[in-house]
Amino acid sequence: MNKNTIDMPDVVVKGDGIVSLVFALSLQIALGDNFTILIIRNKEFSKSNIKRNVRTISISLSTVNILRALGLWKTLSSYTQSISKIVISSINRDNINGGYLKFNSNISGEAASYTIEEHIFRDELLKIIGTRKNISFINADVGSVLHKRNTIQMITEDGSIYETKLLVAADGRKSKMRKLFKIKDVGWDYNQASLSAVVEHSKRHDGVAIEKFYSKGPFAILPMKGNRSSIIWTMPKDEIHAYKDFDDLYLKDKIKDYFGRDRGEILRINNIGIFELYFQISRKLVGTRFALIGDAAHTVHPLAGQGLNIGLRDAATLAEKIVDAVRYGFDFGSSSIIEDYEKDRRFDIVSSALAYDSINKFFTNKDKNLYQFGKIGLSVIEKMPWIKNIFVHEASGLNSSGSRLTRGKSL
Ligand SMILES: Cc1cc2nc3c(=O)[nH]c(=O)nc-3n(C[C@H](O)[C@H](O)[C@H](O)COP(=O)(O)OP(=O)(O)OC[C@H]3O[C@@H](n4cnc5c(N)ncnc54)[C@H](O)[C@@H]3O)c2cc1C
């Protein structure tokens, strides 16, 4: 596009992560080719993303339902591994196992969660989007925005102008758009970082996911397709630097006690990534003709593997509000529509973020009495299948959003 000509897509989305792509596809599938969507990605960011997309993501049933309703699950499910069982334990500073919990991870006979590699998930979505005429991409930085009567204009740093009814920010935790709209957030640095890696091992994992809570942070093992598991090893931020320039052998030696022997020998370790951890919730999810979704709106501790699942529930709810408004002939970027989105999403976001924050604080506390309390708590819950069923249901995300897509229904 030439400088200063105005392009007018119906919706503009900033950021090209998984939340953005699922949101765009939700609109495209429901509204067809006449509804145009522009995704603005950042050139520099997309390059460094290659390094960031090394994680293996656990996806809950709410996400599976969204993907099913959009007709994407058939393609994506072939890359997933179902989780059959979850084993949680708490380990004290003397390396003594202090109680454990075992869950059968299924709801009505179906696995309650699956794992998928983030880069495969994103690449498959991009392939599908590539076949749709009305979703286009540009690489640009938005320098400023200008509110018009019933639209909003974005002026990019090279002077191009895009005008739309609604601007949606899905540009991650450091969202520039959130800052541009002067929306404040509440948050703190966990002073923890997670090392994620893919471990190839000699024996089967049988779909078992393991989470061991150490006083320095949790060590999670997620089953992946084949004889592979993903580890997410959380520790104090200052300790993780020792692992930045490690070699395979060094890491193998370091993780073998945490990893255990059940999966046989550790053969290889790949896809290593390091992520600093933050808690962050945006004070508002919307502004004038503006909405935040995904990590741009909230960043949660990864111990429960729920950040992306929550973000996709945002995408599903916002898409539903837009689609309904378009069908009734309303202005979908107006405050009444997007404030409805905020109202529907606020509780799930805040309650989930605070729950994971409390679990992290509980297990990383240095108080011996609290540790004993945790040990008794895990053992008591282990004997109460009905409480375990509630946990599995909560983790599925099915109770957290009433949107049609999360219930597996089309828009
Ligand atoms: C160690 C770890 C493990 C995790 N495991 C899980 C899990 O098992 N399950 C789960 O549900 N969640 C998990 N999460 C959380 C999950 O990774 C995030 O919630 C999810 O990636 C957020 O997706 P998003 O699309 O909102 O943001 P991002 O993935 O951060 O993507 C934002 C996109 O915006 C783009 N972008 C960023 N800045 C700009 C800019 N200035 N201009 C343009 N574009 C920009 C980037 O290109 C990026 O693609 C984990 C997180 C961590 C740290």
Is the confidence at residue 213, as pLDDT, over 90?
A: no
Region 246-270: mean pLDDT is 86
Atom number, ligand 1, closest to the C-alpha of residue 52: 29
- CA-closest candidate to residue 309, choices 285, 328, 293: 293
Note the pLDDT of residue 345.
95
Residue nearest to atom 9 of ligand 1 (CA): 305
Query: Which of 411 and 244 is assigned the larger pLDDT?
Result: 411
- Choose the residue to mutate in 39, 55, 138 for probing ligand 1, maximizing ligand atoms within 8 Å of C-beta: 55
Region 171-199: mean pLDDT is 94
Question: pLDDT band for position 389 (50/70/90)?
Answer: low
Query: Pairing state of beta strands 286-287 and 266-282?
Result: unpaired
Query: Which of 376 and 239 is assigned the larger pLDDT?
Result: 239
- Choose the residue to mutate in 171, 189, 303 for probing ligand 1, maximizing ligand atoms within 8 Å of C-beta: 171
Is the confidence at residue 208, as pLDDT, over 70?
A: yes
Note the pLDDT of residue 376.
61
- How many other C-beta atoms can be found within 10 angstroms of the C-beta atom of residue 20? 28
What percentage of the chain has pLDDT greater than the value 90?
64
Atom number, ligand 1, closest to the C-alpha of residue 40: 43
Query: Which of 297 and 392 is assigned the larger pLDDT?
Result: 297
Q: Give residue 281 CA to ligand 1 midpoint distance, Å.
A: 14
Cα–Cα distance measured from residue 284 to residue 149, given in angstroms and rounded to the nearest whole number = 22
Q: Is 140 left (phi over 0), alpha (psi -120 to 50) or beta?
A: beta
Q: Ligand 1 pocket by C-beta < 6 Å: which residues?
A: 14-20, 41-42, 45-46, 49, 55, 57-58, 170-172, 176, 194, 196, 232, 275, 294-295, 302, 305-309, 311
Residue 263 has what DSSP assignment?
T
Question: How does the average pLDDT of the chain come out, rounded?
Answer: 88
- CA-closest candidate to residue 125, choices 249, 214, 39, 221: 39
Question: pLDDT band for position 66 (50/70/90)?
Answer: very high
Q: Give residue 308 CA to ligand 1 midpoint distance, Å.
A: 7
Over the stretch 98-112, which tens digit does the pLDDT of each residue have? 667 777 777 888 888
Q: Give residue 331 CA to ligand 1 midpoint distance, Å.
A: 30
For 365-398, where are the alpha helices, taking DSSP H only? Answer: 368-382, 385-396
Region 216-232: mean pLDDT is 94
Range in 29-43, 156-170, 171-185, 248-262 the model is least confident about = 248-262
Is the confidence at residue 240, as pLDDT, over 90?
A: no
- CA-closest candidate to residue 279, choices 253, 306, 302: 302
- What element of type H or E holds 308? helix 307-328
Q: Which two tokens stand for residue 163?
A: 């005008």
Q: Which two tokens stand for residue 34?
A: 């006449």
Is the confidence at residue 366, as pLDDT, over 80?
A: no
Residues 6+ apart with CB under 8 A from 158: 3, 140
- Choose the residue to mutate in 21, 57, 116, 293 for probing ligand 1, maximizing ligand atoms within 8 Å of C-beta: 57
Q: Give residue 76 CA to ligand 1 midpoint distance, Å.
A: 19
Q: Which two tokens stand for residue 13?
A: 């989305």
Question: pLDDT band for position 313 (50/70/90)?
Answer: very high
Is the confidence at residue 367, as pLDDT, over 70?
A: no
Note the pLDDT of residue 224.
97
Residue found under tokens 């994971």: 356
For 158-265, strand residue ranges (E) read 161-164, 166-169, 185-201, 208-214, 217-224, 228-236
Is the confidence at residue 354, as pLDDT, over 80?
A: yes
Residue 112 has what DSSP assignment?
S
Is the confidence at residue 122, as pLDDT, over 60?
A: yes
Range 6-399 has CATH code 2.60.40.10: no
Question: pLDDT band for position 36 (50/70/90)?
Answer: very high
Residue found under tokens 């639209």: 151
